[in-house]
Amino acid sequence: MADIVLINPRFEVSYWGLEHAMPFLGIKAILPVANLPLLAALTPPEHNVILIDENVEPIDFERCARADIVGLTGMNVQRVRMKEILCELKSRGVFTVVGGPWVTVREDDLADFADVIFVGEAEGTWPQFLAEWSAGHHQTRYEQVERTDMATVPVPRLDLMRMKDYAFGSVQFSRGCPFECEFCDIIVTFGRRPRIKTSAQILAELDAIVAAGKDSAFIVDDNLIGDKKAIKLLLHDVVAWQEKHGYPLMFATEASIDLAEDPELMQLMVEANISNVFVGIETPNEDSLRETKKLQNLRARGGTMLEKVHRIQQTGIEVWCGIIVGFDNDDSGIFAAQSRFVREARIVQAMVNMLVAIPRTPLYTRLASEGRLDLSDDAALWGGFGTNVIPRRISREALRAGYVELMRDLYMPDAYFGRLDTLYLDGRLQLGQARARYLRRHPLLRFKLNMRLLVEAAGIFLLLMRGVPDPELRREYRRRLMRAALRRPDPEMIQNYALKCAMHFHAHRMVQEMLSRPQLLARAAA
Ligand code: B12
Ligand code: SF4
């Protein structure tokens, strides 16, 4: 029997980490990483497992020192902290293992810091390692040859996480994506054939999320609609589950833009109470889309990208997006073009990245062969506002300066709230339509929910008024929220609007921090 501690290290500040918004939302992190409770469920019962998410509780290194095995997960935005933790554990003589998205693409970065590394999926290799470790002959590197059969994945051990500290629960329906975007490491790790869990597995996970006290969950799929036929069947069962239990969960997820070409699928998502979808828009520059093989964004079927975004919104789903600057076909006009697209698309939450070549991707191979990778910078700049790519039609300095300008442009209060108001006040986007229908049949429940939403909105508002240091910004939030409440006095919209104010503060703070870095300012001014 082994005593095992699994750790998710602290994140650096990132767009979706929403770190600066946390104090206003009464939580400590956006959602629990899906891998820790899953690894705990994959651990044979004779072992003892403890899960620590450093984003919600400190690491007790004394406790770790008593463990037989300490495992770490992590993404690029955790890599510095991962090394610090591994060094601390080593100094105490702890046996360490590491897996997850970062080590999967950059083995060499962590190989010297841990006793064992896991590359890629681990449903097979984690139990295999534990059996070999128990028998006294484990290996130092595990990479799963066969992709995981999703129908065999157990229900994650949410009971081992401090679920009250998170905004969302997390659930995974499928892995893999059929597309072949040149920069994407997801298809390198998880493959292009979507693999899906059974309805029974998923409904059991939804029950566990509700039992853990959550009313929303992030469906952490790479692309929820990779296999449209299969996902429709599954969504029918989720709709029936929602109807049976009184719509206890609201979902957010990630999907490709071809969602807009399938009205039946969009409607099913609305019926299943999926209210937000993150879409990889990447760029309005069609040459860049062709260059990066994001051909699904170019497909004429169903109209232009702008029309497709509007269609998803019209169905009742808010679109979040990712955009990228620095493709080979981008010149200095790209920043204004991106800003215009996001405004016209009425996308409130837009994550902006510079093109980064992730090791093991086709983009990395191509740029390496063209001598256009800055390998010295690559690890240091990852995940921040830097890139390892040497752009073709624009200097790196101009790219960085343009990136920061674009972020500033998108998150100026007028621009941000302009998009928000066009979408929710003028466009009257209606989230949660299926739940609203259900609640019309259950007025008492509706009353209770509305009260809760209004209390939450008031709580966020008061915390913003107390915690936002800039009086101008406080005035802006107060004015915007009051006006929205008067124009559309719907509790769900008011609560959502208050959340958006907190999310604005996060992005705004990120921009301020970027601008306050002197070396960047010098470049931006150049
Ligand atoms: C859902 C998702 C999100 C969600 C939830 C994030 C979260 N906190 O959990 C949201 C939208 C919030 C998000 C945000 C971000 N994300 Co994200 N996200 C994903 C996505 C699509 C799925 C992650 C997931 O839950 N998978 C399901 C679990 C079960 O899979 P897994 O973690 O890979 O774990 C398996 C194996 O890796 C292994 N394993 C993992 N850890 C360990 C540890 C040990 C010891 C062992 C043995 C095995 C093991 O076992 C598991 C079972 O097979 C991935 C893409 C992907 N498919 O990896 C990107 C991804 C992880 N995200 C990424 C990034 C960059 C971010 C952001 C920094 C973006 C930003 N600039 O804001 C932020 C970080 C914010 C934060 N603080 O969380 C990158 C990471 C790049 C990298 N290679 O390091 C990825 C890979 C996407 C990409 N290519 O850009 N993300
Ligand atoms: S659509 Fe998304 S997940 Fe699929 S290949 Fe492209 S970037 Fe990767």
Chain segment 355-405, per-residue pLDDT in tens: 999 999 999 999 999 999 987 754 444 445 678 999 999 998 899 999 999
Nearest ligand (C-alpha, residue 39):
1
Distance CA 94, CA 134 (A): 16
Whole-number Å distance, alpha carbon 182 to ligand 1 midpoint, is: 19
Q: Which of 139, 134, 160 is nearest to 1 (CA)?
A: 134
Atom of ligand 2 nearest to the CA of 296: 1
Atom of ligand 2 nearest to the CA of 184: 8
pLDDT at 85: 98
Question: Is the C-beta atom of 222 inside 6 A of ligand 2?
Answer: yes
Q: Which of 331, 359, 347 is nearest to 281 (CA)?
A: 347
- The structure's pTM equals 0.96
Q: Which of 172, 181, 358 gets mutated to test ligand 2 (max ligand atoms within 8 A of its CB)? A: 181
Q: What residue owns the CA closest to ligand 1's atom 77?
A: 17
Q: Which of 10, 14, 30, 35 gets mutated to test ligand 1 (max ligand atoms within 8 A of its CB)? A: 35
Distance CA 73, CA 333 (A): 39
pLDDT at 523: 46
Question: Is the C-beta atom of 174 inside 6 A of ligand 1?
Answer: no
Q: Radius of gyration (Cα) for the chain, nearest Å?
A: 23
* DSSP character at residue 373: B
pLDDT at 379: 44
Query: What's the residue count for the chain?
Result: 526
Question: Is the C-beta atom of 179 inside 6 A of ligand 2?
Answer: yes
Residues 6+ apart with CB under 8 A from 471: none
Taking the alpha carbons at both ends of the chain, their separation in whole angstroms is 61
Question: Is the C-beta atom of 190 inside 6 A of ligand 1?
Answer: yes
Nearest ligand (C-alpha, residue 41):
1
Q: Which two tokens stand for residue 325?
A: 């600057």
pLDDT at 300: 87
Q: What residue owns the CA closest to ligand 2's atom 6?
A: 181
Question: Is the C-beta atom of 324 inside 6 A of ligand 1?
Answer: no
Q: Which of 75, 145, 184, 292 gets mutated to test ligand 1 (max ligand atoms within 8 A of its CB)? A: 75
Question: Is the C-beta atom of 100 inside 6 A of ligand 1?
Answer: yes
Distance CA 27, CA 215 (A): 14
Q: Which two tokens stand for residue 357?
A: 């070549």
pLDDT at 375: 77
Tens of pLDDT, residue by residue over 160-218, are: 999 999 999 999 999 999 999 999 999 999 999 999 999 999 999 999 999 999 999 99
Distance CA 475, CA 297 (A): 39
Atom of ligand 2 nearest to the CA of 183: 7
Atom of ligand 2 nearest to the CA of 178: 4
Q: Pick left, alpha or beta for residue 445 (phi over 0 → left; psi -120 to 50 → alpha; otherwise beta).
A: alpha
Place of tokens 């989230």: 431
Whole-number Å distance, alpha carbon 219 to ligand 1 midpoint, is: 12
pLDDT at 435: 97
Q: Which of 227, 221, 218 is nearest to 265 (CA)?
A: 227
pLDDT at 374: 87
pLDDT at 520: 53
Whole-number Å distance, alpha carbon 296 to ligand 2 midpoint, is: 10
Whole-number Å distance, alpha carbon 183 to ligand 2 midpoint, is: 9
Atom of ligand 1 nearest to the CA of 29: 77
How many CA atoms does the CB half-sphere of 167 hold within 13 Å? 20
Q: Which of 288, 349, 356, 361 is nearest to 320 (CA)?
A: 349
pLDDT at 516: 86
Question: Is the C-beta atom of 187 inside 6 A of ligand 2?
Answer: yes
Q: Which of 172, 222, 257, 305 gets mutated to test ligand 2 (max ligand atoms within 8 A of its CB)? A: 222
Contact in structure between 169 and 158 (CB atoms under 8 Å): yes
Nearest ligand (C-alpha, residue 354):
1
Whole-number Å distance, alpha carbon 291 to ligand 2 midpoint, is: 14
- What's the sign of the alpha-carbon dihedral 365, 183, 118, 199? negative
Where the chain has pLDDT below 50, the residues are 378-383, 521-526
Atom of ligand 1 nearest to the CA of 14: 72
* DSSP character at residue 260: G
Whole-number Å distance, alpha carbon 402 to ligand 2 midpoint, is: 25
Q: Which of 177, 295, 363 gets mutated to test ligand 2 (max ligand atoms within 8 A of its CB)? A: 177
Nearest ligand (C-alpha, residue 154):
1
Atom of ligand 1 nearest to the CA of 278: 11
Atom of ligand 2 nearest to the CA of 222: 3
Distance CA 255, CA 269 (A): 11
β-sheet bridge partners, residue 118: 142
Q: Which of 407, 412, 371, 409 is nearest to 388 (CA)?
A: 371
Question: Is the C-beta atom of 95 inside 6 A of ligand 1?
Answer: no
Calculate the alpha carbon distances from 503 to 33, 383, 460, 464, 486 in Å: 20, 19, 11, 11, 21
Q: Which two tokens stand for residue 160?
A: 């081992």
Q: Which stretches of 195-289 are assigned E, i.e. beta strand?
A: 195-196, 216-219, 250-254, 274-282
β-sheet bridge partners, residue 48: 3
Calculate the alpha carbon distances from 420 to 21, 238, 475, 500 in Å: 17, 29, 17, 8
